[in-house]
Structure 1
Amino acid sequence: MVDNDTDSKEQLELTSEEKQKKVCFLCSFKCRKKLRGATSYLQEYCGNTSLHGLKYMGEERRPLIERICWIFAFGLSIYACSQVILKVYRKWENSPVIVSFADSSTPVWQIPFPAVTICSEVKYKRSAFNYTYINQMLVKKKELSRMKHEFRSLLCEEDEYIENASLTTDTSLIQFFQEAAPPCDDLFYCEWKGQYENCCGYLFRPILTEEGVCYTFNMLATSQIFSNNMTVEGFNESYDIYAPTDHSWSQWTAQDGYPNSESIETYPRRGPGAGATSGLHIYLRADPEDYDVRCRTIGGFKVLLHNPSEFPRMSQQFFRAPLSQDVVVSVKPNIMGTSKELQEYPSSRRRCLFQRERHLQFFTHYTQRNCELECFVNATLRSCQCMMFFMPRHEFPICGAGSLTCVKNVTEQLQYLEIVNAMKLERSKESKNEGCNCLPACTELNYDAETSMGEFDVEKIFEAFNVTESEYTGKKIGKLSIFFKEWQFITSRRGELYGQTDFLANCGGLLGLFMGFSFLSLVEIVYFFTLRLFNNLRGKRRKQK
């Protein structure tokens, strides 16, 4: 009985081992069958696909060496194609914008005549302020009024530190600038569109800049340049900038231009045409008795041509109009526009800002110079707790002579940050800008000036025309002529270098060149490994049933 039991146990063990072997055999058979099915399906795909080289890898009787060679060639094509596509993508990502010329020219009457801001180097009348006398009093250590100390430091380019100078001042300083400055009638006499006009009552209006009291032509009113909460204090109503009464304000902007319904005689004034006969001619005058070399070493006038919607920064960009010289300025407008396709791009890629993308706190019109001035105002207010006398402000204290060192440090710091940010931007497109971040406007209007000059001897002119008595006798006189160089000009335009369509076309061309790949090749891949595979598997199951 014992032997029979042991035999039966051994038979059971053998049968279990045989069962395991049978199961393993069946599993391996099924795996081999599935593998052969997958291989045959891949061979079917390789034989029918439009991709180059795959049919040679899928042929059944090809030698192994041939398959290896074709696999290597196919992999090399994929690698080369991906590297070239990567270069195209980087080019599309880093430089999607191209600057080109417009298809047609633009007549000058479609844009405003440039705003002309003129500042005399004679900052005061000797009867109101005597710089030489003040220096003599300082040498003798006599006390002077605070107003004269600040006038000397702010306008006469005096770097000497004033002991116990106040950090802030009030609007009485601006009123003193106005009272001490030579009147407009003593400085200018004008000719506009071939007709002599009253410079100070019709064409030019006073404006306060870092150069003190200056005069500007064809610039928008302060109410149109500054926002509602900003003012230019210290000037009475007669010194504010406003449009002449015989012209109407227009809704002109640098981005949209003049409205179609706008008349020719509007403000800001349109360009009258090209040539010296249709421009602006200004006779500049100065009384030698008011010229003080200790306050300003160079005489004459500073002139700036700028966009009518920009606030002038006379210390940064200007050219000189010396006395006893006939200065001729031929103006060439420069307009940079931007196509509508670039509106969807981020500003960091197109390198410009539309009006709706950047709203300034102090200005109603966005321009790069207005943005830089606002940045300077905010930085001065943060660091020095005051604002310079020429800055637009709203209930902010005015910097006195004691704050000039702080203001100078702010200017140097902003210049340093701009350089650092420019270097960071070249290295990384995603770097954060810590400075002003004032990109150019997407529609930008500038004026390029070509200057030439010759001698203007007013005494010989009076002698030639037998002028014996004149209000100009004893004064130094110069002439400034500003006009458009040509009737028409070519504008520039930012356009799309590589759009999404161009990028896809380049990628498709490269894939077709290296691999014979197309959109239908992608459809084939999806079809073979989804719909066709599902239908084949379902057909086999039906046959098995």
Structure 2
Amino acid sequence: MSNNYKCEVIPTRNNEGEVNFTAGRKRSSKKFQDAEAEVRPASYERKKGTCTKNTVHYFCEFCDNTSIHGFKFLGERKRYVLEKVWWALIILVAFFMSSSLIRKSYFKWQSSPIIVTFATRETPIWEIPFPAITICPEVNAHPKVFNYSDVYLKYRMKQKTTEEEDTYFRLYSTICNEHLEFVDQNATKLMTNDEFVMFLGSFADLQMEQCSWLGDSLSCERSFTNILTSEGWCRTFNMLHPDEVYVNAGELSENHTRRAQEWSLEEGYPAGVGLNTYPRRTMLTGAKAGLQLDLFVDDSNLDYLCSEISGFKVTLHHPAEIPDMDTHFRIPMDEAAVVAIKPSMIKTSEEIRSYSIYDRLCYLPGERQLSNYKIYTQQNCMVECLANYTLHVCGCAGFYMISQEDVTHMCGAGSRKCLEEARGKIVPMHNC
């Protein structure tokens, strides 16, 4: 049997404390291997015994070496049992509490993975459009065309009325104060095409003068355009061209000349462009840095049976949205009103496109198309949802909800109650 030799460098120490290194040969024998095994730590030796003993041994080693607070006291052999039980309870409580917090955080991330945070930089007001302003007069009917109070008094006194007066009374009962006891509801569920044309042509004009923008005079007639709302014909300022908002604008586009210029809904205003943009925007704050105008009404045009309050209804909205007159504020007669606007804007990052619509709870441009409107916003979606819901429930929709080309499903005075009930039910059901 041949001998195996192994070359080693052996350190030696002399009497003066210096360390010398000498090389030599040493037989690699079983005795030498046994000597190496003797210097190994005891932790390297595999303990023989039952599975339970091994588990206890490894657990004690884990407790001795882990950095988790509390486990060290569980593994020490000299600790009292009561002390170990106490630390075990503390560790279990901490485990369950952290597990509960992790579970809550996970479900919160599942339900709302998108986080809304405050921007680190304020957005200048010249980077966002000035809001659109829609104004509706409380006076609806032109007195030279139709006097609502006179016809109502004739009904009360059981006097004879003409067919034209009956038709106008039914039409204006859709927007005036409720006097439906004098309306044949079974015969007026729908509005005919001829009645709709009569209705649109009988509204009183909104009278305004001395309009100014950023301190400069402005043509009121050219700056304000007609728009059909739940209050009838109203006038709006700084709204996009109807052809850019509606799928079928109809008569709304006849007196509107300005289209979006140097602006888009997704990108806003490009850097470096001047103030000659549309929608309009302002650079400063204060009363003279916005819109100023005078509104007035002839006393002879007031009809307190149709509307108990004289003045104007005003609502502010995004230039790409349909105005919701239910969110209006009033401007009374013979008073000056100053309105301060505090805009709210949410910007989205490109990373959220990777999330599903269900997770991020919002639609990005181009992801959802509406039937009646070219631009998707939550307000436009709500108006369309309400129109579809009332069509389903009442068999018709408000004259201001649907395209003017579709006059076969416009509600008359007999459907007013159904329209009001549908509006109250659609709010918790919408998915806009």
Smaller-chain TM-score bracket: 0.7 to 0.9
Asked if structure 2 preserves the Cα contact closer than 8 Å seen for 1:57 and 1:67, the reply is: no
Aligned counterparts of 2:252 and 2:65: Cα–Cα separation in 1: 88
Aligned counterparts of 2:302 and 2:359: Cα–Cα separation in 1: 51
Q: Please state how far the C-alpha of 1:337 moved relative to its aligned partner.
A: 3.4
Aligned counterparts of 2:289 and 2:73: Cα–Cα separation in 1: 79
Count residues with an aligned counterpart.
Answer: 376
Give the partner amino acid of 1:286.
V
TM-score by length of 2: 0.75
Alpha carbons of 1:35 and 1:236: their partners in 2 closer, same or farther (altered >3 Å)?
closer
> Could you tell which deviates more after superposition, 402-411 or 335-344?
335-344
Alpha carbons of 1:42 and 1:105: their partners in 2 closer, same or farther (altered >3 Å)?
closer
Equivalence for 2:84: 70
Alpha carbons of 1:273 and 1:174: their partners in 2 closer, same or farther (altered >3 Å)?
farther
Equivalence for 1:329: 339
Give 1:118-517 correspondences, 5 Å limit. Answer: 118-138=135-155, 139-145=158-164, 147-161=167-181, 162-163=183-184, 164-183=186-205, 186-200=207-221, 202-226=222-246, 228=247, 231-233=248-250, 235=251, 237-239=253-255, 241-243=256-258, 249-253=261-265, 255-260=266-271, 262-314=273-325, 316-338=326-348, 352-355=362-365, 358-393=368-403, 395=406, 397-415=409-427, 418=428, 435-438=429-432
Asked if structure 1 preserves the Cα contact closer than 8 Å seen for 2:240 and 2:319, the reply is: yes
Give the partner amino acid of 2:213.
W
Give the partner amino acid of 1:277.
K
Give the partner amino acid of 1:144.
E
Give the partner amino acid of 1:105.
E
Structure 1 residues 98-121: Cα deviation after superposition (integer angstroms, max 9, x where no partner) = 655432222221111110101111
For residue 133 of structure 2, give the secondary structure of its aligned residue in structure 1.
Answer: strand
TM-score by length of 1: 0.61
Aligned counterparts of 1:335 and 1:368: Cα–Cα separation in 2: 14
For residue 420 of structure 2, give the secondary structure of its aligned residue in structure 1.
Answer: helix
Structure 1 residues 297-317: Cα deviation after superposition (integer angstroms, max 9, x where no partner) = 211111111111110111x11
Give the partner amino acid of 2:409.
P
Aligned counterparts of 1:256 and 1:385: Cα–Cα separation in 2: 40
Asked if structure 2 preserves the Cα contact closer than 8 Å seen for 1:53 and 1:70, the reply is: no
For residue 373 of structure 1, give the secondary structure of its aligned residue in structure 2.
Answer: helix
Aligned counterparts of 2:162 and 2:315: Cα–Cα separation in 1: 38
> Could you tell which deviates more after superposition, 339-348 or 72-81?
339-348
Aligned counterparts of 1:77 and 1:170: Cα–Cα separation in 2: 77
Q: Please state how far the C-alpha of 1:215 moved relative to its aligned partner.
A: 0.4
Calculate the aligned-residue CA RMSD, in Å. Answer: 3.3
Equivalence for 1:509: none
Give the partner amino acid of 2:422.
V
Equivalence for 2:94: 80
For residue 330 of structure 1, give the secondary structure of its aligned residue in structure 2.
Answer: coil
Aligned counterparts of 1:84 and 1:40: Cα–Cα separation in 2: 27
Asked if structure 2 preserves the Cα contact closer than 8 Å seen for 1:188 and 1:199, the reply is: yes
Asked if structure 1 preserves the Cα contact closer than 8 Å seen for 2:135 and 2:234, the reply is: yes
Alpha carbons of 1:181 and 1:411: their partners in 2 closer, same or farther (altered >3 Å)?
same
Give the partner amino acid of 2:424.
E
Larger relative contact order (Cα-Cα within 8 Å, sequence gap ≥ 6):
1
Alpha carbons of 1:37 and 1:288: their partners in 2 closer, same or farther (altered >3 Å)?
closer
Asked if structure 2 preserves the Cα contact closer than 8 Å seen for 1:111 and 1:270, the reply is: yes
- Aligned-pair identity (%): 33
Q: Please state how far the C-alpha of 1:136 moved relative to its aligned partner.
A: 4.2
Give the partner amino acid of 1:243.
R
Equivalence for 1:430: none
Alpha carbons of 1:194 and 1:399: their partners in 2 closer, same or farther (altered >3 Å)?
same
Equivalence for 2:129: 112
Q: Please state how far the C-alpha of 1:357 moved relative to its aligned partner.
A: 5.2
Aligned counterparts of 1:77 and 1:368: Cα–Cα separation in 2: 50
Structure 1 residues 359-379: Cα deviation after superposition (integer angstroms, max 9, x where no partner) = 433333333322221221111
Structure 1 residues 81-103: Cα deviation after superposition (integer angstroms, max 9, x where no partner) = 33134225415643766655432
Aligned counterparts of 2:63 and 2:389: Cα–Cα separation in 1: 68
Gaps of 5+ in 2: 1-47
Alpha carbons of 1:223 and 1:130: their partners in 2 closer, same or farther (altered >3 Å)?
same
Q: Please state how far the C-alpha of 1:168 moved relative to its aligned partner.
A: 1.2
Structure 1 residues 382-408: Cα deviation after superposition (integer angstroms, max 9, x where no partner) = 011111100133635111122212212
Alpha carbons of 1:33 and 1:258: their partners in 2 closer, same or farther (altered >3 Å)?
same
